[in-house]
Amino acid sequence: MPIGAADPDRMTPEQRAVHDRIAAGPRGGVPRPFLAMLDSPGLAHAIQGIGAALRFSGALADDLREIAILAAAGAFGSGYEWGYHEPIARRAGVSEAAIAAARAGDVSSLGGGDIAAAIITVCHRAVRNRRVPREALALISTRLGRAAATEVVAIAGYYPMLALFLDAANLDHPIPAAGDGRGASPVQDD
């Protein structure tokens, strides 16, 4: 591992303290992205706090949050994030059409006024083009409120950041092809 700390027995006291705080939180463990950050324990703690706010106390409904996460993971190409969040999305009731659209960024099958299409559009374009499409963001804001629209933008930045840490620590992999059944199955989520 070029960066990070995966073995709790080899962590510094500061790394172990942050590791244990993350493990005791709502995730119930320490996901790979946070292991990759533990060379900077304060940073790992701060970044995981943002994720906890988005995942466990945000304004977005579970299904819409997971669509945004999948879209960000799909646009970035993070197999770890995709593999973990795809089953969560399914449990939250996300349709197969929305999952496929989140993977590819093609929302044509969802319809122009569909809120999932707007979320996917914002996340894919933000990650790939580094720009937020104003019309799609305005639709999210109008339909779901400004707090939810803000969270979609945050997810579009947050999950690619996690994916960069995963890549830097050699903990990520490509997203499996649709339908091949080889999604990742990490022990803890993020």
SS (H, E, C) 42-108: HHHHHHHHHHHHHHHCCCCCHHHHHHHHHHHHHHHCCHHHHHHHHHHHHHCCCCHHHHHHHHHCCCC
Q: What pLDDT score does 185 carry?
A: 37
Asked if pLDDT for residue 179 goes beyond 80, the answer is no
**Alpha-carbon gap, residue 100 to 98, rounded angstroms:** 5
Asked if pLDDT for residue 28 goes beyond 60, the answer is yes
Asked if pLDDT for residue 128 goes beyond 70, the answer is yes
Reported as a single tens digit per residue, the pLDDT across 58-71 is 999 999 999 999 99
> Contact at 8 Å (CB) between 32 and 5?
no
Residue 93: Cβ-neighbour burial (10 angstroms; 0-12, 13-18, 19+)? exposed
Span 25-45, average pLDDT: 95
Percent of the chain clearing pLDDT 90 (strictly above): 88
Reported as a single tens digit per residue, the pLDDT across 82-119 is 999 999 999 999 999 999 999 999 999 997 679 999 99
Q: What pLDDT score does 111 carry?
A: 76
Query: What is the pTM for the complete model shown?
Result: 0.91
Q: What is the dihedral of CA 128, 74, 56, 26, to 10 degrees?
A: -120
In which element (H, E) is residue 152 found?
Answer: helix 146-168
Q: What pLDDT score does 180 carry?
A: 57
Q: How sure is the predictor about 136, in pLDDT bands with cuts at 50, 70 and 90?
A: very high
Q: What pLDDT score does 178 carry?
A: 78
Q: How sure is the predictor about 183, in pLDDT bands with cuts at 50, 70 and 90?
A: very low
Q: What is the dihedral of CA 1, 77, 56, 65, to 10 degrees?
A: 180
Q: DSSP label at 177?
A: P
Asked if pLDDT for residue 129 goes beyond 90, the answer is yes
Q: What is the mean pLDDT of the chain?
A: 92
Dihedral sign for Cα 132, 135, 138, 143, please: negative
